[in-house]
Every structure is written in structure tokens, then in C-alpha cells.
Structure 1
Amino acid sequence: AVGGGSILVPEDLAGASRVVRPDHFAVANAIGAAIAQVGGEVDRVYSVVPQQRDTVLDEARQEAVDRAVTAGARPGSVEIVDIEEV
């Protein structure tokens, strides 16, 4: 039994041969949250002429990277996974 809710699991659980509580079982969820990936998102509406498109996209990409880094991402590990243009 791990995580904050593990305190609700009794020592003897019907149907289980035993209940195992590893070291630091109460903080398993916190550890998972601490090692989770972070992200950054930019949601903007731009009105640009075709010649400005690449510049505007580069600025939006950089802003997304900056937001991810501010949220705790390592700068060299950030990937842009989605760009949506309408």
C-alpha cells in the first residue's frame, strides 16, 4: 500500500496474503509528482502577413520553452510537441 490513501488500508486485508508498506510509502504520490515532466503552453491569436509567419512562430515557440523552463524544465530537454495554425 502506497500514497496518502494507504492509511485507509488495514494491516489485514481480506483476499490478500499480506499488506506490504515499503519505506516512505506515505509519500509515493509526492515523489511521482516531483519527477513528472513539466510543460509550457502558448495560446495566442496573431494576424500576420505571410512574410511574418516564421518570425511569429519562432517567438511563440520560444515563449513556450521559456514557460516550461520557468515551470522547472531543464532548458535542453524541452520539446515542442504541437503547433496548431488556423
Structure 2
Amino acid sequence: MNFPYTGWVLMPSFKPVELTFVKDRGGWHRAERGKDYSIHDIFPDKHSAISAGHAALVEQQLAVNKKQANIQKRRAALEKAAGEAKT
């Protein structure tokens, strides 16, 4: 990889931003602004960054769904225990 180069990253808000990277830091690249980004979080174009964002959202939704199922199981166990306590 030749420096400097431009790449796209997703901000925590998931907004894609084009940055110029100026230095290799062993698996991380330093942006002109001074922040380091993992090479796995830098994309060659805006479309790739957006696609990665959509994939991350799918993963997050799956995690939420799993957590929701666990909450429902725990609620059912508590309701069952509360019903048994009344008798």
C-alpha cells in the first residue's frame, strides 16, 4: 500500500466518510486527522462502506433478536414461578 491514499470508513453514527491515510501502524492506518483505523474498517469506495454498514446492522439485529428471545424465556420462567408460589 502506498501512502498517502484515500479510503472510506463508517463513523460511529454509520455515516460514510472519505479520509486520507498517511501512515501504516501494523494493521492500523493513521488518517490525516491523526486517528488510527483498523485496516478491516477501511473500504475502497463509498458503496463498499455502505454495504459493510448494512451487513453490520444485520448482525446487530440478529443479536437483538437472540437477546429478546432470552428475555422472553426468563419472563416465562418468572411467571411460571409466580404462579406456583400462589398455590
**TM interval, short-chain normalised:** 0.3 to 0.5
The structure carrying a bigger strand percent of its residues is: 2
**Alignment TM-score, normalising by the size of structure 1:** 0.33
What is the TM-score when the length of structure 2 is the normalising length? 0.32
Larger RCO, structures 1/2 (Cα 8 Å, 6+ apart): 1
